[in-house]
């Protein structure tokens, strides 16, 4: 109101609205009091845009306390207390069950079929340079945007050593963060900056990648990569900030390698470990395309089991979860000590799930519940009630539009997700859309409140009723009585798929001009 009157008065459109009244007249005094009241009310109701604490956890399936995915005790007190102060989405799913396409989907708001990012080698930036990521959008509208750890996938960081320093200087232009921060490459459990442990592998088993290892490291806890990522956030929250901020913190564990301090292993005695139940005939009713996904890492699972290390591996995964939970707790404590506690939205998510033997699989990249269901929490001060639980199917794609609405930013056109603010106000409010999950092979899973439907590229199908079969042991795709369910869910299978992005090896990068040249086509793409 004040701004309007000031602006219009300067243009000569309005004269003093009180000039017709004597200042000592009763009517004039009433007008003055009314205008003062309106001005005060307007100022009192104005509030700064909320800050955002954005926490990403890698490879964390539903084995956390508030989700009950692990049938024995798992220690996640900090994830549980965050769920208690906001809304936990118990039927949340990734857009793709592998790191790069999942994170690209979250950060751009687009499904793989829309963006063309289908696997870990695909590089979205030169493929779709016009896209505006979450931190880009926040930065363009007055936010300080900073981050540490793994938020985007590390595709850029995997460039050859002679290019890495150039990319390191410019990586903030690649993801929209305001300044250089401790990024993924320096904080990876082992790199050329931080060698592998000696002896290696600590597990004693050589599997499909040097990443696939587990063991306790003796170095101080603060020297672990995730502890350093959390410390960056803690230090940031202890500072005074004139502008609203978007603070991202990527926790790497429980991604492999499962390297943790010994004290976290001690919390899980070997005799307390419960292994997944794997029926011998679990794959008998699955189409060939599904069996190919399931058996991709069957040889490695067999090696783990034959070596008597299955329980030991699960123990290290659980210990890694609790180590990650501790870092989340440190961030929450720092926020609660800060002046930003009452005006900061917290969003916590994991990029996808992880199989530890279910469906005879040892890895990710599947379209079953173990591979797609993830922890997802939103705590927004003043929105909804504490300790809310939402059973509606939601996608991590919904994060982008939800944050845009909560922070009162201009809408972004073309996003594939839908804001979750109705569910934050009322977690029982139904949604008309299911969660859609896509794989590199153009297989698709559709998850609604009760069913999971999988359509493989060759047209073969799976259908599971989670009301009677939460473990997905009985494929009911051939049950004619459920044809209406299949038909309804099949509507969400995309009919068009975007052209796949190229890998970083397809481009030559000019760091001085910040542009890419495609080696085959000669196309020039300039960064923004």
**pLDDT tens track for 79-94:** 999 999 999 999 999 9
Strand 388-390 vs strand 87-89: parallel, antiparallel, or unpaired?
parallel
- The answer to whether residues 373 and 353 touch, using CB atoms and an 8 Å cutoff, is yes
Q: What are phi and psi of 205, to 5 degrees?
A: -120, 130
Under the banding of pLDDT at 50, 70 and 90, the label for residue 191 is low
Beta strands in 330-460 (DSSP E): 344-350, 376-379, 388-390, 394-395, 435-438, 444-447, 451-455
CA distance 170 to 182: 13
- The answer to whether residues 375 and 64 touch, using CB atoms and an 8 Å cutoff, is yes
Residue 288 burial by Cβ neighbours in a 10 Å radius (0-12, 13-18, 19+): exposed
Signed CA dihedral, 260, 261, 262, 267: sign only: negative
- The answer to whether residues 253 and 214 touch, using CB atoms and an 8 Å cutoff, is no
Under the banding of pLDDT at 50, 70 and 90, the label for residue 504 is confident
Q: Which of 93, 99, 100, 443 is catalytic?
A: 99
Per-residue pLDDT, 198:
84
Q: Which of 122, 127, 153, 316 is catalytic?
A: 153
Per-residue pLDDT, 248:
93
In the predicted structure, residue 432 carries a pLDDT above the cut 70: yes
Q: What is the DSSP code (8-state) at residue 505?
A: G
CA distance 263 to 256: 18
**pLDDT tens track for 247-291:** 999 999 999 999 999 999 999 999 999 999 999 999 999 999 999
In the predicted structure, residue 352 carries a pLDDT above the cut 50: yes
Please state which CATH number belongs to domain 51-432.
Answer: 3.40.720.10
Length of the chain: 528
- Tokens 């279910």 sit on residue: 358
| 224 token code pair | 């672990």
- The answer to whether residues 383 and 421 touch, using CB atoms and an 8 Å cutoff, is yes
- C-alpha angle 353-358-362 in degrees, rounded to nearest 5: 70
Q: What is the DSSP code (8-state) at residue 500?
A: P
In the predicted structure, residue 528 carries a pLDDT above the cut 60: no
Per-residue pLDDT, 194:
65
Describe the crossing of helices 99-108 and 399-406 by its angle, rounded to 10 degrees.
Answer: 30
What letters, b where the CB count within 10 A reaches 16 and e where it falls short, cover 133-169? bbbbbbbeeebbbbbbbbbbbbbbbbbeeeebeebbe
Per-residue pLDDT, 469:
98
Per-residue pLDDT, 211:
86
CA distance 435 to 117: 18
What Cα–Cα distance (Å) separates residue 5 from each residue in 15, 23, 28, 39, 47?
Answer: 10, 19, 18, 11, 21
Residue 71 burial by Cβ neighbours in a 10 Å radius (0-12, 13-18, 19+): exposed
SS3 29: helix
Per-residue pLDDT, 28:
47
- Tokens 């495609």 sit on residue: 518
What one-character-per-residue DSSP string does 168-214 give? HHHHHHHH--SS---BHHHHSSSSSSSPPPSSS-TTS---SSTT--E
In the predicted structure, residue 171 carries a pLDDT above the cut 70: no
Q: Which helix (H) or strand (E) holds 115?
A: helix 112-115
Per-residue pLDDT, 360:
94
Per-residue pLDDT, 176:
54
Under the banding of pLDDT at 50, 70 and 90, the label for residue 166 is very low
CA distance 455 to 131: 29
Whole-angstrom Cα Rg for the chain: 26
pTM reported for the whole predicted model: 0.87
Taking the domains of the chain in order of start, what are their residue ranges? Answer: 2-45, 51-432
CA distance 249 to 247: 7
Residue 525 burial by Cβ neighbours in a 10 Å radius (0-12, 13-18, 19+): middle
In this structure, the dihedral spanned by the alpha carbons of residues 316, 320, 326 and 327, taken in order and rounded to 10 degrees, is: 160
CA distance 388 to 187: 34
Q: What is the mean pLDDT of the chain?
A: 86
In the predicted structure, residue 122 carries a pLDDT above the cut 70: yes
In the predicted structure, residue 74 carries a pLDDT above the cut 50: yes
153 is catalytic: yes
Which of these ranges, 194-208, 405-419, 487-501, has the smallest mean pLDDT?
194-208
Per-residue pLDDT, 48:
87
Neighbours of 215 (CB within 10 A): 19
Beta strands in 271-426 (DSSP E): 344-350, 376-379, 388-390, 394-395
Per-residue pLDDT, 188:
52
Sequence-distant (≥ 6) Cβ neighbours of residue 407 within 8 angstroms: 49, 50, 52, 138, 244, 345
Candidates 356, 283, 261, 342; CA nearest to 71 is 356
- The answer to whether residues 171 and 514 touch, using CB atoms and an 8 Å cutoff, is no
CA distance 501 to 44: 49
SS3 520: coil
**pLDDT tens track for 35-57:** 444 333 333 334 689 999 999 99
Cis peptide before 155 (omega within 30 of 0): no
CA distance 64 to 176: 31
In the predicted structure, residue 518 carries a pLDDT above the cut 80: yes
For residues 516 and 244, the model is more confident at: 244
């Amino acid at each position: 109101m004040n701004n309007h009157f000031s602006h219009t008065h300067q243009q000569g459109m309005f004269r003093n609205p009180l000039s017709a009244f004597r200042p000592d007249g009763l009517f004039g005094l009433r007008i003055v009091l009314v205008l003062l009241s309106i001005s005060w009310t307007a100022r009192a109701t104005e509030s700064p845009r909320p800050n955002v604490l954005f926490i990403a956890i890698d490879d964390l399936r539903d084995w956390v306390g508030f989700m009950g995915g692990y049938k024995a005790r798992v220690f996640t007190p900090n994830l549980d207390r965050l769920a208690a102060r906001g809304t936990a989405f118990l039927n949340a799913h990734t857009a793709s069950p592998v790191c790069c396409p999942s994170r690209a989907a979250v950060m751009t708001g687009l499904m793989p079929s829309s963006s063309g990012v289908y696997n870990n080698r695909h590089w979205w930036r030169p493929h779709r340079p016009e896209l505006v990521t979450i931190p880009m959008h926040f930065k363009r509208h007055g936010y300080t945007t900073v981050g540490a750890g793994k938020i985007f996938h590390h595709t850029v960081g995997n460039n050859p050593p002679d290019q890495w320093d150039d990319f390191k200087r410019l990586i903030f232009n690649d993801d929209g963060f305001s300044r250089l921060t401790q990024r993924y490459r320096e904080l990876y459990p082992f790199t050329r900056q931080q060698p592998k442990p000696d002896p290696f592998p600590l597990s004693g088993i050589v599997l499909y990648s040097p990443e696939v290892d587990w063991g306790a490291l003796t170095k101080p806890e603060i020297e672990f990569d995730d502890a350093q990522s959390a410390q960056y956030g803690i230090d940031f929250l202890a500072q005074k900030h004139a502008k609203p901020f978007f603070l991202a913190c990527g926790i790497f564990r429980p991604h492999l390698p499962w390297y943790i301090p010994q004290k976290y292993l001690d919390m899980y005695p070997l005799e307390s470990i419960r292994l997944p139940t794997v029926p011998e005939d679990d794959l008998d009713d699955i189409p060939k395309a599904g069996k190919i996904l399931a058996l991709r890492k069957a040889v490695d699972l067999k090696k783990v089991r034959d070596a008597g290390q299955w329980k030991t591996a699960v123990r290290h995964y659980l210990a890694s979860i609790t180590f990650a939970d501790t870092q989340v707790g440190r961030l929450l404590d720092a926020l609660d000590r800060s002046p930003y506690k009452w005006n900061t939205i917290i969003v916590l998510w994991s990029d996808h799930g992880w199989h530890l033997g279910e469906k005879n699989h040892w890895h990710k990249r599947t379209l079953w519940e173990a591979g797609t269901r993830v922890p997802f929490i939103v705590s927004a001060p003043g929105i909804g009630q504490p300790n809310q639980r939402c059973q509606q199917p939601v996608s991590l794609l919904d994060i982008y539009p939800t944050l845009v609405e909560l922070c009162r930013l201009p809408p972004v056109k073309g996003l594939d997700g839908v804001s979750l603010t109705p569910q934050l106000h009322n977690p029982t409010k139904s949604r008309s859309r299911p969660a859609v999950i896509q794989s590199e092979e153009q297989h698709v899973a559709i998850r609604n409140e009760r069913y999971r439907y999988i359509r493989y590229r060759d047209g073969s199908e799976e259908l599971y009723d989670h009301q009677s079969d939460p473990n997905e042991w009985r494929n009911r795709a051939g049950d004619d009585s459920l044809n209406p369910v299949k038909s309804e869910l099949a509507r969400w299978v995309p009919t068009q798929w975007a052209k796949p992005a190229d890998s970083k090896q397809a481009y030559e990068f000019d760091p001085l001009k910040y542009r890419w040249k495609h080696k085959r086509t000669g196309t020039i793409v300039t960064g923004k």
